[in-house]
Structure formats: C-alpha cells, structure tokens
Structure 1
C-alpha cells in the first residue's frame, strides 16, 4: 500500500494543517482514529442498542482526521430514526472502510518517509 492508493476518503491536508505537519502527531492521531474505529465498528448495527453512540463517536473521530464523507454519514445515521437505520449504518460502514484504507496508505507513507530520514 502506498500514497498512490489514497482515494480521497480522508483529506490529509486538513490533518496536516491541524497538526502543523508534525509527522509524530499525525501518526498518533491516525492511530487513535484506527483504535476508535476498531472499538466502535462492532456496534454499527441497528440490532445493537449502542449504535447511535457508535455513530456519534465515529463522527467525531472522522472529523478530526479529515474524513468528511465518513463524518457526514455517521451524522445522518446518528440523527435518523430507527426505521432505515441499518441502511444508514451500512453507508457508515462503507465510508469507514474507505477511510481506513486511506489511513493505512498514509501511515505507510509516513513510515517510508521516516526510513529515508
């Protein structure tokens, strides 16, 4: 995976500006994002009573790294009624997968840069 694999699901320019291009901070923020996704993804099912909390948390984590599509999908899921929740949560899961792929590619690039010195 390389930077060329980034799809645009995450606006890394947002993250770079937010962290003042500090690669250590960027990596830490992205790792926290990955942890949040890992913790909350299992709750992204309308059958789970905590799905709204999961959508809310993912919305905030996504906004922090510049994953605007994911943040918007999570907000729609969180605010919607119970009917249609599974369809909205599927959109969240799809956007989450795309964001995670972009994050993995970006983290890989950061690691390559650190090896080059």
Structure 2
C-alpha cells in the first residue's frame, strides 16, 4: 500500500467545507490527516476506534429499525454514525446515514440497513488493510 497522501483518487467529488472526497476509497485520508496534523499514530488510533464503532452503530440501527414507532432511537443511531463517518472522511457512509436519518418507515429502515452494511464492510476492510500496511 502507498502512503496516505497517495490515496487521492483521480476522480473527485466535492466533500464538505470544500474538502475533496475520493470516489474509490471509503475513507478520505487527506481529510483525516488535516485533523491529525499528519500524525500516522493518531490516524491509526482514530481509524481503529471508528472501526470498532461501526459494528456497534450498525447493531443499534438494526435494533431501532425493529422498534416500530421509535423514531428517536433510529435518528440517534443514524446521527451518531453520520457524525463519526464525517469525522474520518467516510463520505459515502456519511451521506447514506444522513439519508437514513430522515427515514420514518420501518420497512424502509430495514431495507437501508443492507446498503449501510455494504458501506460499513468497505470501510472496515479498508481500515484493516491500511492498518496492517502501516504496521509493516
């Protein structure tokens, strides 16, 4: 794997606040690096914590989707995941959870979890590969 700055994709889309988000990477390492001042040890710690939180957040969303009429639990779980994803630059996941946060129908919520699961899997795999590479 290449250094963090080499993770910038050729095709870019506008991220929040004028940052650039990549189309091909689940996490924008340039964005993350801005907040860690390029400290790879801190980036690794943040990504590790984010990775741990992904499964917890997805479980909370799944539980909230099963609770008919409990909009508060759903919105809180989606909002938490959205904020975490934005913090590390996981733009696709953040956008998907922002959309999910607005859902009010139980069946729609159950359906969206499958899509979030794919995005969480991509982010998790990316983090695992990156951290393994950084350790070698």
Q: Structure 1-normalised TM-score? A: 0.80
Three-state SS of the structure 2 residue aligned to 1:57 is helix
Corresponding residue for residue 58 of structure 1:
81
Corresponding residue for residue 124 of structure 2:
100
Alpha-carbon RMSD across the aligned residues, in angstroms, is 1.9
Does residue 41 (structure 1) correspond to residue 58 (structure 2)? The answer is yes
Structure with the higher strand share, 1 or 2:
2
Point out the more displaced range, 42-51 or 69-78: 42-51
Three-state SS of the structure 1 residue aligned to 2:66 is coil
Point out the more displaced range, 83-92 or 10-19: 83-92
Q: Structure 2-normalised TM-score? A: 0.70
Point out the more displaced range, 49-58 or 24-33: 49-58
Answer whether contact 1:76 1:88 (CA < 8 A) is retained. Answer: no
Q: Which runs of 5+ in 1 are unaligned?
A: 113-117
Aligned residue-pair number:
109
The 2-side partners of 1:69 and 1:100 are apart by 13
1:71 deviates by 0.5
- RCO comparison, higher one (Cα < 8 Å, 6+): 1
